[in-house]
Amino acid sequence: MKMQGAVSAPSRPGFESRLAMSARHVVFVIRCLALAALLLGGIVRVLPAQSLSPAAVLTNAVLLDHPHGLVISPDGSWLLALTASGGATDLVAVEIDELGAPVSVQELGFPSSLNASTVNPGIVMSPDGRFAALYGSGGVGDLIIVRRGLNGDTETIAVDFPGGNVPSLDSRPVIPQDGRYVVGIGSGSTQDLVVVPIFDDVDGLPTPAAPLPVAFPSNGALPFANGLLPAVTRDGDAIIVPGVQTAQDLLVVSVPTPADSAPLQVFPVAYPNFNQIPDPEVAIAVSPDGRWVATRGSATVGDVVVTPLDPAGVPGTAVNVLLPSNNNAARPEEPLLVDPRGRVIATAGTLIAGDLALVPVNALGVPGTPINVAFPANNFLAADAPPLRMSPDGRYVAAAGSATVGDLVVVDFDYFPATNTVSATPYNVLFASSANRRTNADFSISDDGEVIATYGASATTSDLVIVDIDTFGVPVTSYSIALPASLNVSTNSLRPVVDPGGGWVAAPSTNTAADLTYLRLERDASCQLFSSIFETFQVPFGDNFDLVPNDLALAPTRQFLYGRGSASGTDLALFAFQDARIFPLAPAWLGRALPLRFRSSLDGGAAYQAGAAFERCPPIALGDGRLIGLADDPLLQLSIQPMDPAFFGFSGVLDADGVGFGAMFIPFVPEARGFALRFSFVVLDAGDPTGIGTIAATTTIVLR
């Protein structure tokens, strides 16, 4: 593959030094092994013969065939699935143990002959995993709260909206990050929105309070468009929806803490120069820090409109942003992309000079001068292209290009806060072996952005296409991979599942002897990616996947893959990882401790040492040919120091099941949001010349 140029490495020493200094002042006390013990060992994937263990979940009900019919808690211990027909069983709750295996299945019927809404299907899990919410069939319950009871059983609570039922919009409730309320769409007039506060009862269980109707001023109303969803800021201080009048292009509801401690205030936002939102079905973009929101506008007035929010969720003056050189925002049905730091908006353009457009936005929500990005060698965004994808660490945007020039285009960008500007360098990636992207195939990107995977168009040469991206956001090469033994990828699957750490790719296949294909990826001493070992797995009891498009998913803790089976056999299939790994038990929020589970099922009772690093490259080479998948950088040095207070449980002894627990405190450094950290651990073995026995896979976790 020919490179189009070079991109300088993003400079982040300020964050690294601040994180290191802050970490030294966190109150944690731990015992760590000596630095030399880890540096003598290495990080390499030492896997059992089978690294996934399939398990089946059987129910008496048929599960709902819908993209939002399955949800799972952030700690991976609670899975909820809606059923297709209601009646005696409306919901199936599955408890999952710390090894990723199902331990109990509960079938629930909603109270008072209530059913899940058939016109607004889908269930939403609260970010803390303590409860879930869905729309009911109305009459006796417009909203249903699902929670775990004191005895571990799943319980349901029905909530009636005071002014009428939820309209038929194919919509879902929305829950902010702190889980302090649920917001739903009302029936209009006296309740355009309904906010249901959530409080802890005397037993500490999340419980809904009396619903709060929100009526919009001046006869304003929601545009009752199919697929309409309210947007919320991460801390829940503002709810944002589109309006229908010139004076109410956007409506912002400021929410106090607790949600029912003061009246909810509504602030209409009128876009300048009679600009307006062209399609209310398109999701509103909210910056990760909640300081601004963005929507699409009119191509002749402002292709993008940015509205700042103050810390209380009160909107400021909206600003129109017209893309340069008469470029327009193409593909208006796609949401705007926002990087994890909330400083760059990306959208597809319509001109050769602007295949992609980038809009910088500063910390106050003020947009800078947008730029056009032309794809190299007259490449262009393919007509059948999937949506643009931004790498989870916010380094680049990936787009589908022409099969003859560049099947994939990677646009690496950098934001400069001092000037509120953005620069970008695009790269064409022509897939290897004359392979093309499958027509309906989407892209999956690892959390560190170093692996992009998609489906190829040829079942004989390119079932999978893997693209290696270096640490600077520059594509290195692509690999076209044919599945073994005449296996083919299921056409119902739109994109493969990629390990957040870039260590494997999984895809459902169509062969009756193998329903799941699992490709392990490795990196050599120069950090070049290469494919290693295929493994294939069958859904238990000879069943096949019955996929909703892209239904195969990875649990938030990364302990297992899961997906629907056939209604006549396995209702759910779980594939738990059996090799040595680290599993995050919660998102990596700034200013909080990140809980981690260390697991090596073959090493119960053995001592271990864990480490964290900013990068995986360059790896530490060992005399026995193994590599450490963590760079020897300042964070690694800090994480393995004895008695450092920021790292709890990074050394210790695994229990009888080969499980250990630890935590890393992440200081609140705003510019660190979107930054990827790497973790691993080694099991100590005095009988090995290096002192190291089993060595865990590298885990990548993005800060939020």
Rounded CA gap, 592 and 537, in Å? Answer: 38
Q: Which residue has the tokens 């601040």?
A: 18
List, in order, residues 6 or more apart from 313 with CB less than 8 Å away. Answer: 233, 237, 238, 252, 253, 254, 255, 290
Indicate the pTM of the whole model: 0.88
Q: Give the number of other Cβ atoms within 10 Å of residue 328's Cβ.
A: 18
- Burial of 609 (C-beta count, 10 Å sphere; 0-12/13-18/19+): buried
CB 694 within 8 A of CB 603: yes
- Burial of 383 (C-beta count, 10 Å sphere; 0-12/13-18/19+): exposed
- Burial of 201 (C-beta count, 10 Å sphere; 0-12/13-18/19+): exposed
The phi and psi torsions of 16 (rounded to 5 degrees) equal: -60, -45
> What pLDDT sits at residue 612?
92
* Tokens describing residue 12: 């982040």
Rounded CA gap, 423 and 441, in Å? Answer: 29
* Tokens describing residue 348: 């597809």
CB 401 within 8 A of CB 382: yes
> What pLDDT sits at residue 189?
74
> What pLDDT sits at residue 37?
33
> What pLDDT sits at residue 7?
29
User: What residues in the chain have per-residue pLDDT under 70?
Assistant: 1-50, 85-87, 138-140, 219-220, 485-486, 511-513, 530-534, 541-542, 546-550, 567-568, 622
**Span 342-356, pLDDT tens digits:** 999 999 998 888 899
> What pLDDT sits at residue 237?
94
**Residue 638 DSSP code:** H
Please report, for residues 296, 565, 610, 647, 692, the alpha-carbon distance to residue 300 in angstroms, rounded to integers and kept in the order given: 12, 49, 55, 53, 64
Q: Going by DSSP bridges, is the β-strand pair 659-665/647-648 parallel, antiparallel, or unpaired?
A: antiparallel
Q: Which residue has the tokens 């929601």?
A: 222
Rounded CA gap, 86 and 134, in Å? Answer: 14
CB 276 within 8 A of CB 297: yes
Q: Give the number of other Cβ atoms within 10 Å of residue 253's Cβ.
A: 23
**Span 487-508, pLDDT tens digits:** 778 777 888 999 998 888 998 8
Please report, for residues 287, 296, 329, 702, the alpha-carbon distance to residue 348 in angstroms, rounded to integers and kept in the order given: 19, 12, 6, 25
Residue 574's DSSP bridge partners are 55, 562
> What pLDDT sits at residue 63?
84
* Tokens describing residue 232: 């919320």
CB 644 within 8 A of CB 561: no
> What pLDDT sits at residue 44?
29
> What pLDDT sits at residue 271?
94
Q: Going by DSSP bridges, is the β-strand pair 572-577/560-564 parallel, antiparallel, or unpaired?
A: antiparallel
CB 284 within 8 A of CB 240: yes
